[in-house]
Structure formats: structure tokens, C-alpha cells
Amino acid sequence: MITQAVILASGLGSRLTKGGDSSPKSLMPVAGMPLISRVITILQQAGIKKIVVVVGYKKEMVETFLEEQHPEVFTVENSEYRKSNGLSLLAAKPLLDNQKPFVLTMVDHIFEDGWGVAFLEKAEAQLKGNGAVLATDADIDGVFDLDDATKVFVEEQKITHIGKGLQAYNCIDTGMFLCRWTIFKAIEATKKKTGDASISDGMSALIESGKFSFVDMTGMLWQDVDTPGMKKEAENRLLEFSRSSEERSAVAQFFDMIGRVTVLNIFSFESVTPQVVAQLFVFLQVVLVTAAGFFRMPLATIVILFITLLSFSVLRIMLSVVPKGERVKKKFMRFVPALLTVSMLPVAMSASPLAAGILMTLLSLYSLIIIAGIKDPLLDKMVLIRSQLSFLSWEYFWIFASIYLLLPLPLWPLLLIFTIALPLTGE
């Protein structure tokens, strides 16, 4: 079983960052999640326990981020990060378990949820008798910016040629390898001669010895993220790939369409995360509910309904393009009760003050549970209950419930602001 991996994250990323932005490429958000977090989550899904991240440019920023968000990973510095990437791999060698195979990947590649699991299932068996196994994609027509892609020619389960300038090729390098320690010998030999070495130098040595194999990952989503154009393409592909194959109601399809356009616009603001979006939607709902009651505007309830459905659609779509690590899922699950409760309050207050009071009590208890830190059992039960009620159509429920909103609303929803803010302050 493969349990260790190396992520190369030492480069400048000058082609990706915007003019004047000197942030490390590894911290660049793609579809609301930093590149480094995406790769770490994909590897952890595949059972990787030890992850070594090689840092270089702006290493303090990357190390601080990893200490806060991924304290379980190891970091090592490549002070010669302006040279070829083989030196970054050599820097990781002392932290790896001696002679054990490891996954090697670049920080500037995104992969679909479950990619790491699928890759290792194929690659482990293929590693026997080889020094490295590369994940390849035979769908050449589907590659974005083919000129920038690393081309590969394979024959009889062996890679015989690899490089960006190949004229004859039959698949593309996707940026993930499974390697034995023989790769270090080849890179070290080149460095000893020239003072520099690339991973390609190591792979070329494996090709010469006939020990460089591949596994076909055609049909699974991946994308190199080297330029702003590639970043936009990656986000578009993630959204398209996340479309549900299940039949959905006309109302759900309508809000999905609006939600996808909204999400693409949100992604253009790189600092906006699903957490920020959830907070904005909750705040907007509270303001609308309060305004509807204070100014006695029954028609405002239609806007409240629209915002509620749109917020669910946007958050669902944003989370659908994030690799579903357990910590990521549970982190954002807590927003759903807050959004649901706020959107139900107008109905409850118009129909019965008692019903509204019950909702307020439940939300307060939920907030205390979140703050007390005893959230996991509650969230697990919520997931179970929601799966058992999957036959319900929430979209139609809100349409019929909105009829009750025609009655004037009281002013006291202002009291909700502090209570609703409590579940949003957790980690």
C-alpha cells in the first residue's frame, strides 16, 4: 500500500499570478479552493498518510498556510527553486520513508474527486518491474492548450518518449507519478555533472532502461493550471463535470442555471470562499426579512424565497467542485441549518408566533452545540435524515409555503442576527 507522497510547490508561478501579485502559485484559489489544498485532499482520499510539500518561493506564506489548514503535512525548503524541478524532488528525499514507493505530483494540477484512489488502484500493480508509472490521458483533442502540454509516446505498456516538443505522441502527461527510489539516482547523477537536474532527466534515464510505464486515466478530469486562461478553463470544467446525472425538477434546473452563472462570477474574486458566500446569503436573508416586517412589504417575500433557493443552489455548486474530504464536508455542513432556518422564519411568523419561537429555540440550541464542539454526531444524524427524506422536493415546498408570507411580518427578526452569526464563527 502506498502511504507517502511529494508535492512540488516551490516555483514562482509568474505566468499564473496577475500583474503586481507576488503570491505563491500554490495558494492560488481555483474554484474556491487553493491549489495546494486540492492536491492534499486528493492524496489523502487515496490513503496517503505522509505528505511532503517542497516549498521555495515565498516559503513563509506557504508554511503559515499549511500550519493553519493542513498541520499534518511536512514541509521542506528548496533554496534553489529558481533552478530545475529535480532539485525540489531531491530536497524531499530525507523526509521520505527509505526505499518505499511514493506518489509525485505538482501543485499546479487539479484533479477530479477520487482521482488519487483510481490512479493508485491501477498504478500499484503496474509499478512491478518499473521505476515509475505516469498517469496519462489519451483524449488529446480534449486537452486545453495542447502546445503547453507535455506529450507522451507509449508502446507496449512502456513510455518511449516524453516532452513538450514531441511531434509524434499518442497521449498526454497529467502530472501525477508513482515512483521508486531509482528516480533519485538518475537525478543525483545529472546534478553531479551539471549542478542542476530536472524530473525529466530522471524520467529519461528510466526510458533508456525500459522501466518507465503508464496507466491510462482517460475519461477522468484533470487540468494543468499554469496561466489565467488555464485557471478559467479548470473552473469551467469542474463545474461542467459536477453536473448531476439525476433527474431534477424544473425549479431545481432553473436555479442550477442561475447558480452556475453566479458561481463563475464568484470565482473571479479569488478571496471569496464558500464560507464567505454563506455568511453573505444569511446576512442578506436577515435584512430582507426585517425589511419586509418593518415596511410591511408582502411582495418582498418573493425576493426572500428567491434568495433562499439561489443560496442553496450556489453553495451546493461551489461545494460540488471541492474534493470531498471529510473535514471539508463537515466544515460547511453547519451553514445549511442556519440558511434553512432563516428562510423558514417568514412562514412561521406569519402562520404562528409559537412556530417562530420554536424555530428560534432550535437555532439557538444548534448554535450552542456548534460552539461547544459536540457537532460531529449531530451532523452525521442530519446527513442520515436528509438521505432518508430524499423523495421530498424542497423547491415545491417553498413555493406553497410562500403563500403564508402575504401577512405582515413583525420587526423582531433583528434579534436573529447575533444568534445566526454563532454557527458561522466556528472553524
pLDDT digits (tens, 9 = 90+) for 394-425: 444 444 444 444 444 443 344 344 334 333 33
The pLDDT confidence band at residue 239, using thresholds 50, 70 and 90, is confident
State the cell numbers at 410.
Answer: 413583525
Residue 339, pLDDT above cutoff 90: no
Q: Report residue 86 CA to chain centroid gap.
A: 27
Structure confidence by residue, pLDDT tens digits, 348-371 = 555 555 555 565 565 555 555 544
- DSSP character string of 304-356: HHHHHHHHHHHHHHHHHTS---HHHHHHHHTHHHHHHHHHHHHHHHHH-HHHH
Q: Where in the chain is the domain with CATH 3.90.550.10?
A: 4-225
Query: In what helix (H) or strand (E) does residue 102 lie, and over which residues does it extend?
Result: strand 102-106
Q: Which of 95-99, 246-250, 328-332 ranks highest by mean pLDDT?
A: 95-99
Structure confidence by residue, pLDDT tens digits, 184-236 = 988 998 899 899 998 988 898 899 999 999 999 999 999 999 888 898 899 88
Three-state DSSP state, 75: strand
Burial 44-69 (b: 16+ CB within 10 A, else e): bbbebebbbbbbbbbbeebeebbeee
Average pLDDT over the chain, rounded to an integer: 77
Q: How far apart are CA 252 and CA 156, in angstroms?
A: 48
Q: How far apart are CA 298 and CA 405, in angstroms?
A: 7
pLDDT attached to residue 227? 85
Query: In what helix (H) or strand (E) does residue 367 lie, and over which residues does it extend?
Result: helix 353-372
Q: How far apart are CA 57 and CA 21, in angstroms?
A: 13
Provide the greatest CA pair distance for the chain.
Answer: 82
Mean pLDDT, to the nearest integer, of 44-62? 94
- What's the whole-model pTM score? 0.75
Lowest-pLDDT range of 59-73, 175-189, 274-288, 325-339 = 325-339
The pLDDT confidence band at residue 76, using thresholds 50, 70 and 90, is very high
The pLDDT confidence band at residue 316, using thresholds 50, 70 and 90, is confident
CB atoms within 10 A of CB 393: 13
Q: Report residue 131 CA to chain centroid gap.
A: 30
Superfamily of domain 4-225 in the CATH hierarchy: Spore Coat Polysaccharide Biosynthesis Protein SpsA; Chain A (3.90.550.10)
- Is 285 within 8 Å of 304 (Cβ atoms)? yes
Strands 4-9 and 74-77: unpaired
pLDDT attached to residue 315? 76
Mean pLDDT, to the nearest integer, of 295-309? 64
- DSSP character string of 239-261: HHHT---S---HHHHHHHHHHHH
Q: Report residue 152 CA to chain centroid gap.
A: 28
pLDDT attached to residue 292? 61
